[in-house]
Amino acid sequence: MANYTPMIEQYLKIKANNRDSFLFFRLGDFYEMFFDDAIKASRELEITLTSRDGGGTERIPMCGVPYHSAANYIKNLVEKGYKVAICEQVEDPKEAKGVVKREVVQLITPGTVMEGNMLDEKENNYLASISQFDLDTFVLTYNDLSTGENSAAIIETGWERVVSELFNRPIKEIVIAKDLPEAFQQDLMERLQVTLSFAENTEISSELTQLVDHLTDSRLKQGFARLYHYIQSTQQRALDHLKPVQFIELNEYMMLDMYSKRNLELTETIMKKGKQGSLLWVLDQTVTAMGARKLKKWLERPLLNHRLLDQRYQIVEGFMEDFMSREAVRETLKSIYDLERLAGRVAFGNVNGRDLLQLKNSLEKVPQLLSILLACNQKEINNLAKTIDPIQELKTLLENSLEQDPPLTIKEGGIIKTGFHEQLDEYRDAAKNGKQWIAELEQQEKKATNIKSLKIGYNRVFGYYIEVTKANLHLLPEGKYERKQTLTNAERYITPELKEKESLILTAQEKSVDLEYRLFLELREQVKAYIPQLQHLADQISEIDVYQGFATISEQQAYVRPTFNKNRSIAIVKGRHPVVEKVMKDGMYVPNDVTMNESTDMLLITGPNMSGKSTYMRQLALITIMAQIGCFVPCESASLPVFDKIFTRIGAADDLVAGQSTFMVEMLEANHALTNATENSLILLDEIGRGTSTYDGMALAQAIIEYVHDQVGAKTLFSTHYHELTALEETLSNLKNIHVRAEEFEGRVVFLHQIQSGAADESYGIHVAKLAALPEPLIDRATIILKELEEKQGKEKKAEVIQTDESQLSFFVSEPSLNQSREHQSKSEQHLRKELQQLKLMEMTPMEAMNALYQLQKKASEEG
């Protein structure tokens, strides 16, 4: 480093402490980057890469972005998962001895952004942390810096549950200890695609006490401490808006693993990764950003508590029955801004005059909202209104202090209302009326001295002056005027009064802006005291927004209120898939019943591709989730149990990032369901076994069906193309066959999308290929091959029948021969039975078991 210039040495020292970040190094009006940062930033931001002499043997790579437009460049980098360290000058260049002192004043990371242009207003921006306490025990903590929300959960069932829980929230960055196993770190980056950061400090410091004191488990406190210290070290500013940590009691909510959330497309679609086409897209009738975020939280955590669900339903029903009040609520909410994030900006110190004006305008609407809610006929809605504090004192403070149209910046003035502060009013009056006062003074002096040519002028050297021609000097009174400058034909004077006014006029604007800035900072500190009340108000308003949203969509789409039962029965009459129904033309959707009484735990669904089996399965899951978040559901009536977990394996969603095949993903997801489901769970398995050979797949599918039926007992929908499996209805008492109806018409298949009892009688595979417009010669050839295979299978069956008939006519054979045959058969059976009894099935892998079974079958065939 000795060869570099002092400025580059300073850069390298600061960069050494921020190796995982782009260092935005302030030089005048630019943020500059050097060395590898410059090369990488020029590529990522598509800006020009230059170089400069830094005192070394070679020129240094360099690129930069203007200070005033840096926000967009920072946003670009953060959205790509990078961190940006902002390095500012922290001393006046005029007072600097040598290189101006610089320090990193903020580290902007994907999980800690606060700037509005980097945040999705309808999405929380979570930073998470993981702390491991033993092999299977982890503490997860969450923070949304923009809203101040904090929460924590304990997971004691292993790493896979940790990943599923993290997948359940929009997380951009995860803070971990450096000793978290490398395999886990790799898993987080590959499966969740998040930025990893490191923090080791888990000390419960004094500033943390009020946030964690109510937590009884010390592990939760330590876990949150890791997250808090990371935030504190990166932001280096006040965190007054952080709320006490909320403990997430996971067993109070339905468990939705990452596979189910993805397969059911709850918040985003599998293909496009966007909101449109998801359940959230259908249900989101909220009108505030706070409400949209609240809805997403509810959708991620459906309730198990009957009482809370009933309370939600009463409020939604009240809004449905009172259309006028609901519309009035919607209109009022449209004028309420994002109170949660406004409170966060106040605490963070980056709030401006327009933000506070939005806060004032929002608070002005709260009394109107309260009067609408109190006028409703529903008691639960009235009770909501009675608990809301409109924070009248804060509204009055902002009304008295803020101008109606403040500027974006807080250092230009124009924020504080006239009449709020006497000294500020004087400055403004002096600045505004200074010229008029000068003109009036000139007239007064002319009249007092009787010098008609007297004038008052101004220059930058002497300021304001009174100019009198030399011919009129004798008219000036003694002692009042002080000579300032002599000209050829005139003298220039000043008076104490003029000098005093000059000082006021010339400095009024500057003093006005400075005073206004100080008053704004004082106002911001006063608003800070109301942050807890604002956050509570935001929480209440966001709930009201979700309730009216549920009522709105329920009325629009003719949803009904479900009921819950405790006998584990499902009775849905004319159920509909909420998303498919919304995108189809009116009247085109075919509704279907789902009936599973106490003695039916499994429905085996057969039918051709494209007939609607997967839609039917997803439909049940989505209706269940909607019911357990408090929304009405798409059907004519619904009686449901409260499900504790939902597991799905629907569609070929290959985990290509992790390098796993479709079949492996299928088996992993099936195993996850089988090992975690209870009798109170819902399992949806679509086409299990299709990723391998026919007999392998069929054997696995049957084994899974039997295991779920006998060992798990969960309500299960299992769709399959293996028609042979429909025979299981005869041996499994709690399994029933259903199929999707399809008919042939003029050589073409017509899908009726209707669910009926019994098994499907045909697969219609070639008809589906015809619908997909495969070449005609290919279709014709497939038809011929199918016919040949069917004829061959028919002959084989006939041969089996003849062989059976021949064996049945064995009474024509002599009795000794028959006895010898029976004796031989008996010995073979005993031998095979002995071999079968000696097999240690519980110690064998599925493949070893299959091989052993094959060998026994081969022996049986040979000896038979």
Residues 6 or more apart from 574 whose CB is under 8 A from it?
591, 592, 593, 635, 636
586-640: per-residue pLDDT in tens? 778 899 999 999 999 999 999 877 778 899 999 999 999 999 999 999 999 999 9
CATH number of the domain residue 147 falls in: 3.30.420.110
Residue 336: give its domain's CATH number. Answer: 1.10.1420.10
Could you read off the pLDDT of 12-27 as tens digits, one per residue? 999 999 999 999 999 9
The domain total for the chain is: 7
CB 692 within 8 A of CB 700: yes
Which tokens in the block code for residue 150?
């904090």
Same domain, 793 and 732: no
Length reported for the chain: 864
Asked whether residue 607 is marked as a ligand-binding residue, the answer is yes
Which residues make Cβ contacts (< 8 Å) with residue 701, sequence separation at least 6? 688, 689, 718, 720, 722, 725
Whether 132 maps to a domain, the answer reads yes
Burial category of 766 from C-beta neighbours within 10 Å (exposed 0-12, middle 13-18, buried 19 and up): middle
pLDDT at residue 239, as a whole number: 87
Same domain, 154 and 241: yes
What are the beta bridge partners of residue 748?
A: 745
362 carries a ligand binding annotation: no
pLDDT given at position 608: 78
Q: How many Å from the N-terminal Cα to the C-terminal Cα in the chain? A: 88
- Ordered DSSP codes for 267-317: SS-TTT-SSTTSHHHHH----SHHHHHHHHHHHHS-B--HHHHHHHHHHHH
Query: Which has the closest alpha carbon to 278: 287, 270, 289, 290?
Result: 270
CATH of the domain at 637: 3.40.50.300
Spans of the chain, pLDDT less than 50 = 1, 652-659, 801-821
Q: Which amino acid is at 162?
A: V
783: domain range?
779-808
In whole angstroms, give the CA distance from residue 775 to residue 777. Answer: 6
Give the orientation angle of helix 353-374 with respect to helix 392-401, to 10 degrees: 140
Instruction: Indicate whether 360 belongs to any domain.
Output: yes
Concatenating the DSSP letter of every residue in 485-531 gives EE-SSEEEEE-HHHHHHHHHHHHHHHHHHHHHHHHHHHHHHHHHTTH
Asked whether residue 357 falls in the same domain as residue 442, the answer is: no
What is the separation of C-alpha 567 from the centre of its chain, rounded to a whole number of angstroms? 35
Residues 789 and 751 in one domain: no
Q: Quick one: pLDDT at residue 115?
A: 83
Q: Are residues 474 and 622 in the same domain?
A: no
Q: Are 173 and 194 in contact (CB under 8 A)?
A: yes
Claim to verify: residue 635 and residue 685 sit in the same structural domain = yes
Does the annotation list 349 as a binding residue? no
The answer on 783 and 770 residing in a single domain is no
Does any domain span residue 631?
A: yes
* Last-in-domain residue among 723, 752, 774: 774
Beta-carbon contacts of 861 under 8 Å, excluding residues fewer than 6 positions away, are: none
Instruction: Give the separation between CA 69 and CA 29, rounded to whole angstroms.
Output: 10
Residue 611 is labelled as binding a ligand: yes
* 1 annotated binding-site participant: no
Q: Is 407 annotated as a binding residue?
A: no
Report whether 828 belongs to an annotated binding site. Answer: no
Q: Is 614 annotated as a binding residue?
A: yes
CATH number at residue 75: 3.40.1170.10
Two structure tokens written together for 596: 């599973």
525 within domain boundaries: no
Residue 747's identity, in one-letter code, is G
Q: Enter the DSSP assignment of 470.
A: G
Task: Say what the pLDDT of residue 419 is.
Answer: 94
The pLDDT of residue 809: 38
Q: Are residues 183 and 248 in the same domain?
A: yes
Residue whose tokens read 């193309």: 721
* Three-class DSSP category at 468: strand
